[in-house]
Amino acid sequence: MNTIKMLLLVSASFLFGKAYAGAYMFPELGMMSISTAGAGAQAVAEGAETAFANPAAMTELNTTTFAFNVQGMVSNINYTDNGSTGVFAGGESSSKAGTAMPVGSIYAVTPLNDSWSVGLAIASAGGSIIDYGPNFAGSLLLQDAQLTTVQFNPSIAYQVKDDWSIGLGLVVEYGILEQNFAGYSDSFLPSVSAEGSSIEFGYTLSSLYKFNDDNRIGFTYRSELNHDMDGDISSDNRSSSSSINIIMPAVAIVSGYHQLESKPALLWSLGWSDFSKVSETAISLANREAGIAREWQDTFSASVGMHYPLNQQWRLESGVYYETSPQDDPSLQYPDVPTGELWKLGLGASYEINQNWRMKMYYEYYYGGTPSIDYTLFEGSAAESSLKGDYEAAVHFFGVLFNYQF
């Protein structure tokens, strides 16, 4: 392999670690509060999904409860090129990177006595899939990629007083990363594939306080998970060991639930994600270490929602969510996660099938705005190249959750 080809391959391998450093964080997926866009998740406390949303609130469930969720995700990500240069020139003027994937989760809660309850959640709090195709202008940086995470969350709750409970949980998260990068037909650059996986451990701390039967507030803190995705990078029948550091940041959320006299319930949540921990991405190859600047910032979120009962069996649910952007500088954007402010709109309905079964149907529209990218490779050299373009990103979540009380 000649020097130029090796340089480009190593450069590509340094870049791919950046693809999922921030990842997609979808806390409401595991909490199953999609119908209200995340609002009130830590304070609702009415089904087995409470084991993930707020373990402390498991003390509100008086009997063993089991739940399972079946979900689909469809993304629409459109890229429009605005005059990319160098090795990024000559690609498609516009590319569609949307994909679809199934998601599922299961939950269980059982009271041990009047004070103690235990629970288990198997769900995901983040992950993504994106596919530009080989003709994307930035396919040297990313052609397609998938990050999948699954969390195994056993937890325990204790009712300190009639109006106050606390909870503690263990988080075991498995993550797997797969990515492909297109070659460059007019040069020496080969196609590159990379994969890696990791198991990391964390914890949850939570609390629930009831002012009265109609008003309560809940809090959950989920610790940071620091993955070192160990695997291989390969090209032209050659491979090398690699490790990419991917941080799933700590998240803190406080929520409220308020039953109004006219029967509807008002829900709200305020959240914080510690994305400032993702200042750079550490990448390790067989004989080299590198770091890539990310300069992400903490994000803050707010959501409000409502439960509106139609009768004893049917309840309508809705909510809206806003989150600040972790990065607004086009020169630090990357094709993996077109990053901007987030807006989410959730809709759904709950149906009491009988005294044991309850069903929730839900839909969420996730809008990622119109971020721009102006990413430069080999800056200051004769090979300097810039990927310049605009994004428009949206994701659709839909599914159904079943709760069963024994």
**φ, ψ for residue 63, nearest 5 deg:** -145, 160
| Model confidence at 265: pLDDT above 90 | yes
pLDDT of residue 349: 98
Mean pLDDT computed over 79-104: 87
The answer to whether 194 and 233 have CB atoms below 8 angstroms apart is: yes
| Model confidence at 61: pLDDT above 70 | yes
Pick the residue with more confidence: 16 or 262? 262
| Model confidence at 393: pLDDT above 90 | no
Q: DSSP secondary-structure letter at 191?
A: P
Task: State the number of CA atoms in the 13 A half-sphere of 375 facing the CB.
Answer: 29
Residue 52: helix, strand or coil by DSSP? helix
Mean pLDDT computed over 158-169: 97
pLDDT of residue 270: 97
Q: How many CB atoms lie within 10 A of CB 10?
A: 15
What does the DSSP assignment read for 72-91?
A: EEEEEEEEEE----GGGTTS
> Residue 380 — pLDDT band, cuts 50, 70, 90?
confident
What does the DSSP assignment read for 298-358?
A: -EEEEEEEEEEE-SSSEEEEEEEEEE--S---GGG--TTS----EEEEEEEEEEE-SSSEE
Pick the residue with more confidence: 245 or 30? 245
Q: DSSP secondary-structure letter at 188?
A: S
pLDDT of residue 198: 92
**CATH assignment at residue 41:** 2.40.160.60
pLDDT of residue 92: 87
| Model confidence at 209: pLDDT above 70 | yes
What does the DSSP assignment read for 8-41?
A: HHHHHHHHHGGGGSS--B-HHHHHT-GGGTTTTH
pLDDT of residue 84: 92
Q: What is the residue whose two structure tokens read 């399972």?
A: 68
| Model confidence at 149: pLDDT above 90 | no
Task: State the number of CA atoms in the 13 A half-sphere of 380 facing the CB.
Answer: 0
Residue 361: helix, strand or coil by DSSP? strand
| Model confidence at 58: pLDDT above 90 | yes
pLDDT tens string 311-337: 999 999 999 999 999 888 888 887 877
The sign one gets for the Cα dihedral 306, 344, 269, 350 is positive
Name residues whose C-beta falls within 8 Å of residue 129's C-beta, 6 or more positions apart in sequence.
75, 99, 101, 145, 146, 147
Q: How far is CA 16 from CA 156, 195, 281, 284, in A?
A: 39, 10, 10, 12
Pick the residue with more confidence: 43 or 177? 43
Angle at 29 between CA 19 and CA 34, to 5 degrees: 125
> Residue 405 — pLDDT band, cuts 50, 70, 90?
very high
> Residue 8 — pLDDT band, cuts 50, 70, 90?
very low
pLDDT tens string 101-141: 788 899 999 999 999 999 999 987 666 778 888 888 888 87
Q: How far is CA 326 from CA 115, 343, 392, in A?
A: 41, 14, 17
pLDDT of residue 90: 81
Mean pLDDT computed over 59-88: 91
Please state the pTM of the whole predicted model.
0.88
Distance (Å, rounded) from C-alpha 84 to C-alpha 396?
A: 30
Distance (Å, rounded) from C-alpha 291 to C-alpha 289?
A: 7
**Burial code of 318-339, b = ≥16 C-beta within 10 A, e = fewer?**
bbbbebbbbbeeeebbbbbbbb
pLDDT of residue 331: 87
Mean pLDDT computed over 181-208: 82
Mean pLDDT computed over 253-274: 94
Pick the residue with more confidence: 28 or 387? 387
Give the chain's domain count. Answer: 1
Distance (Å, rounded) from C-alpha 156 to C-alpha 170?
A: 9
Q: Considering the chain, what is the average pLDDT of its residues?
A: 86
> Residue 95 — pLDDT band, cuts 50, 70, 90?
confident
For residue 182, what is the enclosing H or E element?
none
pLDDT of residue 293: 64
| Model confidence at 2: pLDDT above 70 | no
Q: What percent of the chain has pLDDT over 90?
A: 51
pLDDT of residue 382: 86
pLDDT tens string 172-192: 999 888 888 776 655 556 777
pLDDT tens string 340-363: 899 999 999 999 999 999 999 999
Q: DSSP secondary-structure letter at 137?
A: T
The answer to whether 179 and 16 have CB atoms below 8 angstroms apart is: yes
> Residue 287 — pLDDT band, cuts 50, 70, 90?
confident
The answer to whether 18 and 333 have CB atoms below 8 angstroms apart is: no
Q: Note down the domain range covering 226.
A: 3-405
